[in-house]
Amino acid sequence: MEKKGQLVRTKRFAMEPMSVEDAMLQMEMLDHSFFLFCNKDSSVYNVAYLRQDGDYGLIEPELT
Q: Which domains are present in the chain?
A: 20-59 (3.30.505.50)
Radius of gyration from C-alpha coordinates of the chain: 14
Better pLDDT: 2 or 60: 60
63 has a pLDDT exceeding 90: no
The pLDDT confidence band at residue 64, using thresholds 50, 70 and 90, is confident
Give residue 1's pLDDT. 64
The three-state secondary structure class of 23 is helix
Residue (of 34, 42, 37, 12) closest to 22 by Cα position: 37
How far, in Å, CA of 46 to CA of 6, rounded? 25
Better pLDDT: 4 or 19: 19
The three-state secondary structure class of 27 is helix
Better pLDDT: 14 or 40: 40
How far, in Å, CA of 23 to CA of 16, rounded? 10
Mean pLDDT, rounded, for 31-55: 96
